[in-house]
Structure 1
Amino acid sequence: MPPPAPPDLILAYRRLLRAGLRAVQFAKPARMILTAKLRAGFRDPRGVFDVEAVRRTVWFLNSAAGRRGIEHRILKNLCRVEWERRQGATWKVRLRGERVREERGRVLTGCVKRDPNIIQGTEYEHYERTIDMLNKTFRLCLR
């Protein structure tokens, strides 16, 4: 059984959860994504607890909840990308052109057929680097 969490850790988790739920306005898919990501972040054994980063992230989430500015759009896109990752339907399916449909007896393809192994495993590399740079620049703890 793991040792009990320090009160600072519990308080930080509750603050992030409360601010995050307010920011996503308790909407069902975003709410579930937010709680899952928050749990995963606090259960990560390699994670580092930074009080200042938590404070700034709570400020960021409160700002996203308060008005529909850049913070709101960033949080909305973070939730959307994570939801699409979990669904398994990403932009790469459309890029490869594997979805073939028939309309009125003729076969239509969206794109030219490409080799699926070219981008396999690297689809979200640029996205994750961008989030890491955002976290380093503003000293946040977004995932």
Structure 2
Amino acid sequence: MLPPTNRQITTAYRHLYRASLQAIKYSKPARFAVRDQLRSSFRMEDIKSFDQQKIDNTVEFLGYAARESGIEHKILRNMLMVKIWEKHNPSRDFKDAMRSQTVKMRKSAMINYNMTLAMLNDSMGICLR
């Protein structure tokens, strides 16, 4: 299999970004979370793992999220809420004892979240992060 060209990568990025913005209806905090997540994914992503079929499935998933307020929309909304909360990290307001417990709970929750997201991606053939 040939490696993807720059044009294919750019087109995939644009399709994912456009579909994501339509799915979240251009809402402000989610718009920036989507942009940051896509940028980091396409900058750090290995070219060998580029899979056009997964990207097409993801764009289709985002299209369903844009059209209806169903399960796809709820999954996307919750994923973006997690990303926004991760970014702001309100645990710095707690005392030291509470902070260590909070950090442990968050790490455990994030491990479960990432495993669930990986299983969702594998079962549906999509590439959400």
> TM-score, normalised on structure 2?
0.83
Determine the structure 1 residue equivalent to 2:77.
Answer: 76
Determine the structure 2 residue equivalent to 1:137.
Answer: 123
SS at match of 1:41: helix
Shift of 1:123: 3.3
Determine the structure 2 residue equivalent to 1:30.
Answer: 30
Residues matched between the structures, number: 120
Determine the structure 2 residue equivalent to 1:102.
Answer: none
SS at match of 1:15: helix
For the residues of structure 2 that align with 1:70 and 1:118, how far apart are their CA atoms? 30
* Higher gyration radius (CA): 1
For the residues of structure 1 that align with 2:99 and 2:37, how far apart are their CA atoms? 33
For the residues of structure 1 that align with 2:128 and 2:6, how far apart are their CA atoms? 22
1:11-50 residue pairs with structure 2 within 5 A?
11-46=11-46, 48-50=49-51
Distance verdict in 2 for CA 1:22–1:115, change over 3 Å: closer
For the residues of structure 2 that align with 1:57 and 1:51, how far apart are their CA atoms? 10
Distance verdict in 2 for CA 1:38–1:114, change over 3 Å: closer
Query: Which is richer in strand?
Result: 1
**Alpha-carbon displacement from aligned partner over 1:77-127 (angstroms, at most 9, x marks no partner):** 00001100111037xx9xxxx58xxxxxxxxxxxxx796275464330000
Determine the structure 2 residue equivalent to 1:9.
Answer: 9
**Alpha-carbon displacement from aligned partner over 1:24-61 (angstroms, at most 9, x marks no partner):** 00000000000100011100143611000000000000
For structure 2, list consecutive stretches of 5 or more residues without a partner in the other structure. none
For the residues of structure 1 that align with 2:106 and 2:80, how far apart are their CA atoms? 22
SS at match of 2:90: coil
1:99-118 residue pairs with structure 2 within 5 A?
116=101, 118=104
For the residues of structure 1 that align with 2:18 and 2:56, how far apart are their CA atoms? 13
For structure 1, list consecutive stretches of 5 or more residues without a partner in the other structure. 100-112
> TM-score, normalised on structure 1?
0.76
The percent of aligned pairs where both chains have the same amino acid is: 34
SS at match of 1:122: helix
For the residues of structure 2 that align with 1:63 and 1:38, how far apart are their CA atoms? 19
Q: Which moved more, 1:79-88 or 1:46-55?
A: 46-55
Higher relative contact order (CA 8 A, sep 6+): 2
